[in-house]
């Protein structure tokens, strides 16, 4: 059954099973995105996922189908993340990024650490494009930016990622 049909069933007939199907279908992708954006913080990721679905349920009647439901949902998740980041950055010494010289035990931790040190705008685009597989058009729609801005941010994010990935002090093996 399509997302649009599930939305109609939930809104029109108030079928909770339709909303549950949407939740099960899209939560793994949204969780993975939020996990990467938060730098691998599972409790914060779970909270953000819950906030995302609460907002989606409250705003579902405004979904007009101009983009895919997943793109719309990712936009909500990104807004939740940005709000979290604003409050988080105030708590962490004016949003100082983690020290890239810290020794980590696995490549996943290395990746999460480098992504966590990026400016949030760059992190969003590189995670959406290179990790989640969204196109620049989908990213531009989800973030409310121009297509060229998405491409520029991705280019700068990749340059920063490469520089820190190749730096011997950022990893030990």
Give 33-44 pLDDT, tens digit per residue: 999 888 888 999
Last residue of a domain, one of 75, 96, 117: 96
Give me the percent of the chain exceeding a pLDDT of 90.
45
Cα 91 to Cα 88: distance, rounded to the nearest angstrom: 5
Q: What is the DSSP letter of 106?
A: S
Considering the domain architecture, whether residues 85 and 129 belong to the same structural domain is answered as no
Please give the average per-residue pLDDT across 53-80, as a whole number: 91
Which domain, by its residues, includes 71? 1-96
Q: Which pLDDT score, from 0 to 100, does residue 91 have?
A: 63
CATH number, position 9: 1.10.1740.10
Instruction: Tell me: pLDDT of 172 over 60.
Output: no
Cα 72 to Cα 142: distance, rounded to the nearest angstrom: 7
Phi/psi of residue 100, nearest 5 degrees: -70, -10
Q: Which pLDDT score, from 0 to 100, does residue 58 have?
A: 93
Cα 120 to Cα 25: distance, rounded to the nearest angstrom: 27
Give me the percent of the chain exceeding a pLDDT of 70.
84
For residue 172, count CB atoms less than 10 angstroms from its CB and return exposed for 0-12, middle for 13-18, buried for 19 or more.
exposed
Q: Which pLDDT score, from 0 to 100, does residue 11 have?
A: 92
In the structure, what pLDDT confidence band is assigned to residue 169 with cuts at 50, 70 and 90? low
Beta strands in 46-160, from DSSP E residues, in sequence order: none
Considering the domain architecture, whether residues 51 and 79 belong to the same structural domain is answered as yes
Q: Which pLDDT score, from 0 to 100, does residue 130 have?
A: 84
Considering the domain architecture, whether residues 148 and 92 belong to the same structural domain is answered as no
What does the pLDDT look like over 90-148, one tens digit per residue?
Answer: 665 444 544 444 333 456 677 777 888 888 888 889 888 888 888 899 888 888 899 99
Instruction: Tell me: pLDDT of 78 over 80.
Output: yes
Considering the domain architecture, whether residues 91 and 112 belong to the same structural domain is answered as no
Ranking 34-38, 77-81, 88-92, 156-160 by mean pLDDT, the lowest is 88-92
11 Rama sector, left if φ>0, alpha if ψ -120 to 50, beta otherwise: alpha
168: which 2 tokens?
């011997």
Cα 30 to Cα 98: distance, rounded to the nearest angstrom: 24
Q: How many domains does one find in the chain?
A: 2
Last residue of a domain, one of 96, 114, 148: 96
- Tell me how crowded residue 173 is: count the other CB atoms within 10 A of its CB: 5
In the structure, what pLDDT confidence band is assigned to residue 87 with cuts at 50, 70 and 90? confident
- For 126, the 3-state DSSP assignment is helix
In the structure, what pLDDT confidence band is assigned to residue 59 with cuts at 50, 70 and 90? very high
Considering the domain architecture, whether residues 1 and 37 belong to the same structural domain is answered as yes
Q: Which pLDDT score, from 0 to 100, does residue 98 have?
A: 47
Average model confidence (pLDDT) across the chain: 83
Considering the domain architecture, whether residues 92 and 120 belong to the same structural domain is answered as no
72: which 2 tokens?
């719309």
């Amino acid at each position: 059954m399509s997302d649009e049909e599930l939305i109609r069933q939930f809104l029109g007939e108030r079928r909770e099973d339709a909303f549950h199907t949407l939740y099960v279908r899209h939560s793994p992708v949204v969780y993975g995105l939020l996990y990467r954006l938060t730098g691998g913080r599972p409790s914060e990721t779970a909270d953000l996922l819950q906030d995302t679905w609460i907002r989606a349920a409250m705003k579902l009647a405004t979904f007009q189908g101009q983009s895919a439901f997943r793109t719309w949902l990712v936009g909500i998740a990104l807004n939740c993340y940005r709000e979290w980041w604003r409050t988080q950055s105030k708590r962490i010494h004016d949003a100082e990024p983690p020290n890239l010289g810290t020794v980590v035990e696995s490549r996943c931790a290395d990746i999460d650490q480098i992504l966590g040190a990026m400016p949030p705008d760059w992190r969003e685009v590189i995670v959406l494009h290179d990790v989640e597989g969204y196109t620049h058009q989908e990213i531009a729609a989800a973030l409310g930016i121009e297509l060229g801005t998405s491409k520029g941010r991705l280019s700068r994010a990749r340059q920063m990622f490469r520089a820190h990935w190749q730096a011997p002090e950022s990893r030990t093996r």
